[in-house]
Amino acid sequence: MAGLKEIRIRLQSVKNTKKITYAMKLVSAAKLRKAQESVARSREYTNALNSLLREVVAASESEQTHPLLRTKEEPKKIRVLVLGGSRGLCGGYNSNVNKQIEAFIRARQNGPVSIDWVLVGKKPAEYFRRLNRPYVKSFENLTEDANNWDIESITRAVEHDFLTEAIDEVYMIFTRFKSAISMQPTCEKLLPLESDLLQNKPLSLSKVIFEPSPAAVFSAMLPRVLRAKVRQAALDAKASEQGSRMTAMDSATKNAGELIHKLELTLNKLRQTSITSQLLDIIGGAEAVQ
């Protein structure tokens, strides 16, 4: 068993660690609140934009077409946009993103499909470099606030090659934020844009006179819809990272508290044993003198 000195040193070390994890928990909680607000506002905007697009379709007299809606029966070239974390100490957040990457590869490894990657965040890029796996582009120097990310550049990294038919489909791998304790690693198709956006519903704008035409408005809106989807995924990913970090630091703080309690019990027992031993030595010495 370790001596009193070793236990005191370890106890102080654990107490210092607990202070650090508790501080990190508070910082992550503050960042999470801001991230949650951004996610909620972005979802409202995205939903409103999608509803407006459907109304424009309803006001149109003909079927709408656009290069971002181009589909191929047998896609051969796929690009995946991965939105991951930039730091560690966030539980299984980064490893869950990596699992989604590997699951995507396994699902298509037997088919005649080539896959390339665009990586957002330091952790996905580090993961690919560790495996010596090539990627098209990475965005690693990102701020803590996903609202300040260069969504235009990130979107163009997949949009341009899709429009020029260098790739046939684009998918996104990210973590969808539900709550501080509930996040869902997700893989969803980004391009071509979903056909449900084009459902013709008799909505309020069907009686509006458009200038320019509904077709022109539709063509102008689709790139905005694409960027809104990428921005929403980025905000979800960052909120999920902060939520995972807060949960991990909360768990670490609780574990440190339990370890401190055990070490204090051990320390007290050793001190009691030492004092008892010293008393017995004193009593034994006194009896020997008598």
Catalytic residue among 90, 173, 230, 263: 90
What is the 8-class DSSP label of residue 164? Answer: T
- Which are the contacts of 100, defined by CB distance < 8 A and separation ≥ 6? 173, 185, 186, 187
Q: What pairing do the DSSP bridges indicate for beta strands 169-179 and 182-191? A: antiparallel
Q: Is the dihedral of CA 141, 143, 144, 148 positive or negative?
A: negative
* Ramachandran angles phi, psi of 187, nearest 5°: -130, 120
Give the pair of three-digit tokens for residue 180. 């501080």
Active site residue 187: no
Find residue 120's DSSP bridge partners: 83, 139
Let me know: does 137 contact 79? Beta carbons within 8 Å: no
What is the 8-class DSSP label of residue 209? Answer: P
Active centre residues (catalytic):
90
